[in-house]
Amino acid sequence: MQTFAELYIDGGWVEPVGSGTIDVVNASTEEVMGSIPEGSAEDVNRAVAAAKAAFDGWSITSPKERAGYVQAIAEGLAARQQEIAETITGEVGMPIFLSQLIQAGLPQAIAGSYVGIADSFEWEEQIGNSLVVKEPIGVVGAITPWNYPLHQIVAKVAPALVAGCTIVLKPSEVAPLNAFILAEIIDSAGLPAGVFNLVSGTGPVVGEAIASHPDVDMVSFTGSTRAGQRVGELGAQTIKRVALELGGKSANILLPGLEGAELEKAARAAVGSAFLNSGQTCTAFTRLLVPRAKEQEILDIVKDEVETTYTIGDPAAGAGRLGPLISDVQRDRVRDFIRTGESEGATLVTGGADAPDDLPTGYYVKPTVFAGVTQDMTIAQEEIFGPVLSVLAYDDVDEAVAIANDTRYGLSGGVWGADAEEAKDVARRVRTGQLEINGGAFNPLAPFGGFKQSGNGRELGPYGLEEFLQTKSMQL
């Protein structure tokens, strides 16, 4: 049991105003694995006041000094990597070998990247008789999700600190224990009091108090589109900057020129692109667009890949590639989507809504593939956030692009082609924030964010730093 009874405010651990607590449930065992304080609006007020008071001193420190603290945080994350991986495997259900690489390893890399970025970033430039300077925006409210909990926190906290901002963090109450580990690391790093503050609690209470607070200058939110709309509404009341990283329904286009081994490689990779973290990934390529003439060939490969490689099992033991979903609510929601797919006429290729026979405990869902999916079906339009892949056939490339763009989302996507230049040309036509060409690897230094209702603003790399800065011109 990991029990945290206090919040981290103004450089120390403090008692919350209220006495409520929130249990954290292990996704595999359905047992309580820890608890956190249920913070209140009054706790947010205390945290924002501390952040506001700390801003003047912190904002005038040098980027090099600020980067030094972020380096210390990166080193602290590395020292506790195994503990972090095990904690998030319990909270979220990602298999332990993947948690070590992604849930624990990626935050270290992100934090470390901002040390170099701080050194190379152009903090000021001369334009004619004007000195143009980049300054921190102020107090930042960071509201983060549960699927990649520590990664999403560090992707906001590290650049905000390097920018010279102070922070009030509200982690997801579903997977919050890792945020308390981060607060311990930050405390050990000796960050000045009030620069970083942690208030745990629910979205309707703590999240809304942060988003609507008049002394919060910016809110950076990652989560569902519906919740993002609410954050945007509240932020607009005080004209604060609002950065939103929201949902996705990303398309993966296999172009007609693929043949033989190239086609098989693309089809097998498509499964991994859809099912990472049991499909609980905002960038998951959950729509696979295939040439109609090759649909059955691709379906045979996909079915084999799912049934032989993407097995489900106990994530703590590394027993499969897929662990459980985050909660009973999410498990039931995904199963309902599967039933809807069947009722609307899609063809079930593998998987289904029934519980796995050999896993009676835990929030498991069978990896599921549908064929015969059309654009008007619910499973082709809604973000399911589970291991469900919809295969849609197209007759020509223009139709493939039209299908890819026929959604309110625009976060990610992929294009596979025998000709890399053709694949890039098609990718340019897809209205989404990032695309993988022939399985190009994720780049933590490249800008990350969405088009349309997938949000606004960018995270990661220099673009992620820019989000937390204001631009000032001084005429000389």
Q: Domains in the chain, ordered, with CATH?
A: 2-246+452-475 (3.40.605.10), 251-437 (3.40.309.10)
Pick the catalytic residue from 91, 173, 282, 467: 282
Task: Please determine, for residue 72, whether its predicted confidence score (pLDDT) is greater than 90.
Answer: yes
Determine the pLDDT at residue 318.
86
Determine the pLDDT at residue 247.
96
Determine the pLDDT at residue 23.
98
Task: Kindly state the average pLDDT of the residues 16-42.
Answer: 97
For residue range 300-338, list pLDDT tens digits in order: 999 999 999 999 999 999 888 999 999 999 999 999 999
Task: Kindly state the average pLDDT of the residues 245-267.
Answer: 98
Nearest to 119 by CA among 67, 172, 195: 67
CA dihedral over 449, 456, 199, 56, signed as positive or negative:
positive
Question: Is the CB of residue 138 less than 8 Å from the CB of residue 46?
Answer: no
Task: Please determine, for residue 64, whether its predicted confidence score (pLDDT) is greater than 90.
Answer: yes
Residue 282 among the catalytic residues: yes
For residue range 174-232, list pLDDT tens digits in order: 999 999 999 999 999 999 999 999 999 999 999 999 999 999 999 999 999 999 999 99
Determine the pLDDT at residue 384.
98
Residue 165 among the catalytic residues: no
Count other Cβ atoms within 10 Å, centred on residue 316.
17
Determine the pLDDT at residue 358.
87
Cβ-Cβ contacts under 8 Å for 378 (sequence gap 6 or more): 337, 340, 341, 344
For residue range 394-447, list pLDDT tens digits in order: 999 999 999 999 999 999 999 999 999 999 999 999 999 999 999 999 999 999
DSSP annotation string for 398-419: HHHHHHHH-SS--S-EEEE-SS
CA dihedral over 452, 286, 460, 78, signed as positive or negative:
positive
CA triplet 172, 113, 148: central angle to 5 degrees? 20
Task: Please determine, for residue 246, whether its predicted confidence score (pLDDT) is greater than 90.
Answer: yes
Task: Kindly state the average pLDDT of the residues 277-306.
Answer: 98
Task: Please determine, for residue 1, whether its predicted confidence score (pLDDT) is greater than 90.
Answer: no
Pick the catalytic residue from 38, 91, 245, 383: 245
Percent of the chain surpassing pLDDT 70: 100
Task: Kindly state the average pLDDT of the residues 461-466.
Answer: 98
* Summary mean pLDDT of the chain: 97
